[in-house]
Structure 1
């Protein structure tokens, strides 16, 4: 069509009309789709940003289903906890009801004093009920018996104390006979000794002898002269005259103290010649006798008690050197301490006897007891004489209530002169020695039965029935296969990348997983024996209170988790709305604006068509020339 020539006016109007038509088409497309950006060609940045925001909004929208399910799981667990709480409260109420119940069965008995008598011991026995299968006997009377004197019979001969001794010095006494010794001018007396293990070589010249003795002849004429000469040089020991013989005594004492002579000789200036003139063998010498160590005194310390007074007695070699003097001294000490008792001596063996009427019981103790009375002394407790009698109702009440095997199991009281027995049990109590007519005879062939506490017995059944429901409630508190009360773990994702999560699971304070069950809450099955004891019921109440605290703590934990999930659910919804709105703002068209644009373009299009027509008419003016 290149051969067609358009005028400038027509071409200008045609191009304007084409542009307007293109804008009309674009505006109509926006109105049709509602978007101002329909493809990346329209606006790449807005198109891809909008897609990203929309994708994240869709991902978060998909997470809302998981959050909704998580909320329902928590609500199911909360429903279970509420029901379990009511169940435990009902259990607690049942225990409190049992604790307050006092509808125990009782029976009053008349004492048949004639049938009981005093010729032999008669008992009333209790078995069954809370007492158990082993019968507990309580004496109905006391038979006559003679007094038994308290004794401590010695099992071995008396071992007397020993006196102490001081340590002694060792030494040696010459075993030979002394003979006079005369030293010449060149002679030397050699006297070799050992003092406490240390050798001493003593030498004495004529001059030294004369100096020691105050003479001039060099003669040692006596044992005393010899002792004087030796002492002039001897150290750590002393020489002396012991009944005409020379005695060397160590200055020390004890087992290491000793003096020995190793050799004695006279040297004439050139050689030694052994001599026995000192009384000691000049060649062999003589070994001395070691001293003795100190010996401490050994006393016998004993204590004798009658339960009220105590005599602390120390026996020494001075006051108790033998069995006879020991007995005398002990008796004096017993009198001083106010204790009635006597110690007697039989061939060296001591025996202690208490009051003859058996009103006291003597015991012997202390480190010296076995030495005084023997290691296997036989002790017999004293017993006062007893006159037989049938116990009164009050005496029996005291005896029964004071018996530790019956405490908390039965209770006795005086019912206008009758013995009233209360069976504190959910089982029947058998009373042996009481007949069916209500008389206590003490005969082992008659029995009477006191019924059980039926109220508490029925409450045991009620408690266990309620307890059985607790585990069932826990089992049924599941949603969509997840049961938080059975220890299951619920994991919830909070963002599209799974980097923000919450794990919900029942745990204790230490972080260990726990189930909300009877076993984990410590709710054990009730027994008849437990419901018979008020103390056991009090303990059960405390245990149930602890169980309630555990349940409430777990409920609080789940409640906190639920708050987190609900908050996160609201947050996610708001985020989806924000993301979607942001995405729409980037690509959605303003319908009002686009409609106005379309109307304007349509007007422009009509004007362009009119202008084109006018331009065409101008071109046709040339035809008028023809």
Structure 2
């Protein structure tokens, strides 16, 4: 294409229009983008500085998302702590309700007047083994009489008694035998030396006795009967035999007179036995006395003697004594409760019970009064805070301080305390028992609340760690995690809070309830401390979140100051450029009119 030659004026106006058009295009771009620096060509320094500032602001904007999630994670943990705190406070309320409840079950017992032994307590808050409390001052001891020798039964009326007689050789008996009849005065049978010329022959001695009276017989008055006492010998002993047909007489040979020692007898009176006599004894129970005569007809053997003595005791109103014994001995036993003491006596007590029977006095157990038992039970350390006793108008009231049933031993069939093997049961406190279940249900909810307090997969109450970065270089961070008093990582649950599952025994006493209240108080302290720590962390994160927002705003504002266009200024510039364009167009038209003058030549 051939070049077009423009006049100088037209070219000058054309260049002005082109420049104005370019300026208008630039101004319109700034108005359209709002930026005065749209590329490095516009202003390299401002462009790259603004890009750096915007890049940092963008990095910090990404941190804001992480911090926002961190804030929600902390808030979730704080929500869990708040709910757990309320749960622990509800558990405290349950314990206080249990402590205030005193609806323990009781039962009152009459104490048997002859109670002996123990009253025992088991199960309930005590468990096993049973704890025994004596109901009396001791154990009853039966009175007894134990014979020291075999029973000597009464003999028949014609019984005999023998005694030894030795042969001194050549010595003559100066006198004779002393014979005591029915406890009366001595009767002496004198024998002269002329009548005993053959002293070695016992027959002569017997003959001498027989020849003392008429018809070679010695007649003695026995129990006012004319009974015959016959002397005989077997070569070594003399035997006196009664031939009485009447009641048995008591005939005792008590010794010899004269030169008795020469004939084998002691020089002092000696009882060789009784012939044909009855036995007289007395037995007392400490209140009444029975006088008993044992005859051959009633008590010839030890068995019949026991039966006869027992019948006589009953007949004469002497109670509480049992007649018994082993072998050929007669023993007496008093009442089992030791309420009587036995004594024996009488002329022939030695023949029945021996010369030295063993006598044991009876003693009764002293039953404690109701007040004494109350004192014994309440002062027993093994029963403290487990059982409480009181006086219920003369009855022993037992209060079961437990949620479980209490078993009481030493109860008779009539329901009275007598120290026997019977038992009674006192139920447990049902209100406290139900509160144990309520306490455990709340405790289970505590762990569930801790497990559910998570956000975006992180649970601070389970010991998870939350790490947040606060700047784009990663040099400013914070680790958020539950910590214990020593600063070691921990979790929040029943175990770390020291809240154990409750059993019925824990609600038996106020002491154990107070101990649990103390544990819950410690748990609340830990929860509040942890909540405070999380609160502090939340404050830090929120502060950094606000700081980061401000920094982003600062960075973006700085970048905008470098690149943003002033729309007012650009609008004014555009208006000016439009005016200039119009003026340039007019000037161009005027410049071209000179060239157009040539046309008028045609």
Q: TM-score, normalised by structure 2?
A: 0.61
Residues 461-494 of structure 1 show CA distances to partners (whole Å, capped at 9, x for unaligned) of 1111111111111001111110000000011111
Contact 1:108–1:438 (Cα < 8 Å) also in 2: no
1:110 equivalent to 2:110? Answer yes
Q: Quote the Cα distance in structure 1 between the aligned partners of 2:140 and 2:127.
A: 33
Residues 103-146 of structure 1 show CA distances to partners (whole Å, capped at 9, x for unaligned) of 111111111113x2xxxx51111111111121111111123799
CA gap 1:443/1:388 in 2 versus in 1, 3 angstroms: closer
Say which of 452, 461, 470 aligns to 1:494: 470
1:138 equivalent to 2:133? Answer yes
CA gap 1:143/1:456 in 2 versus in 1, 3 angstroms: same
1:411 equivalent to 2:403? Answer no
CA gap 1:124/1:569 in 2 versus in 1, 3 angstroms: same
- Aligned residue number for residue 238 of structure 2: none
CA gap 1:621/1:532 in 2 versus in 1, 3 angstroms: same
Q: Quote the Cα distance in structure 1 between the aligned partners of 2:98 and 2:3.
A: 119
Residues 335-383 of structure 1 show CA distances to partners (whole Å, capped at 9, x for unaligned) of xxxxxxxxxxxxxxxxxxxxxxxxxxxxxxxxxxxxxxxxxxxxxxxxx
Contact 1:130–1:425 (Cα < 8 Å) also in 2: yes
Q: Quote the Cα distance in structure 2 between the aligned partners of 1:601 and 1:501.
A: 54
Deviation at 1:606, TM superposition (A): 1.8
- Aligned residue number for residue 478 of structure 1: 454
SS of match in other structure, 1:614: helix
Structure with higher Rg: it is 2
Q: Quote the Cα distance in structure 1 between the aligned partners of 2:563 and 2:27.
A: 14
SS of match in other structure, 1:570: helix
Deviation at 1:12, TM superposition (A): 2.4
Contact 2:408–2:423 (Cα < 8 Å) also in 1: yes
1:389 equivalent to 2:366? Answer yes
Say which of 503, 509, 531 aligns to 2:485: 509
Q: Which runs of 4+ in 1 moved over 3 A?
A: 1-8, 143-146, 385-388, 435-438, 619-626
1:32 equivalent to 2:54? Answer no
Say which of 118, 121, 124 aligns to 1:123: 118
Deviation at 1:28, TM superposition (A): 2.0
CA gap 1:623/1:443 in 2 versus in 1, 3 angstroms: closer
Residues 47-106 of structure 1 show CA distances to partners (whole Å, capped at 9, x for unaligned) of 111111111111111222211111111111111111101110011111111111111111
- Aligned residue number for residue 439 of structure 2: 463
Residues 164-215 of structure 1 show CA distances to partners (whole Å, capped at 9, x for unaligned) of xxxxxxxxxxxxxxxxxxxxxxxxxxxxxxxxxxxxxxxxxxxxxxxxxxxx
CA gap 1:4/1:414 in 2 versus in 1, 3 angstroms: closer
- Aligned residue number for residue 98 of structure 1: 98
Q: Quote the Cα distance in structure 1 between the aligned partners of 2:600 and 2:563.
A: 56
Q: How many residues align?
A: 382
- Aligned residue number for residue 377 of structure 2: 400
1:424 equivalent to 2:401? Answer yes
1:43 equivalent to 2:20? Answer no
Contact 2:412–2:419 (Cα < 8 Å) also in 1: no
Q: Quote the Cα distance in structure 2 between the aligned partners of 1:501 and 1:23.
A: 50
SS of match in other structure, 1:111: coil
Q: What root-mean-square deviation, in Å, do the aligned CA atoms of Structure 1 and Structure 2 show?
A: 2.2
Q: TM-score, normalised by structure 1?
A: 0.58
CA gap 1:460/1:437 in 2 versus in 1, 3 angstroms: farther
Q: Quote the Cα distance in structure 2 between the aligned partners of 1:542 and 1:556.
A: 21
Say which of 387, 410, 418 aligns to 1:441: 418
Deviation at 1:544, TM superposition (A): 0.5
1:564 equivalent to 2:540? Answer yes
CA gap 1:3/1:419 in 2 versus in 1, 3 angstroms: closer
Deviation at 1:398, TM superposition (A): 1.2
- Structure 1 unaligned blocks of 5 or more: 147-384
Deviation at 1:3, TM superposition (A): 6.6
SS of match in other structure, 2:500: coil
Say which of 438, 445, 452 aligns to 2:428: 452
1:577 equivalent to 2:553? Answer yes
CA gap 1:4/1:130 in 2 versus in 1, 3 angstroms: closer
Deviation at 1:622, TM superposition (A): 6.1
Residues 13-36 of structure 1 show CA distances to partners (whole Å, capped at 9, x for unaligned) of 222222212212211222222221
- Aligned residue number for residue 68 of structure 1: 68
SS of match in other structure, 1:72: helix
Deviation at 1:5, TM superposition (A): 4.6
CA gap 1:131/1:625 in 2 versus in 1, 3 angstroms: closer
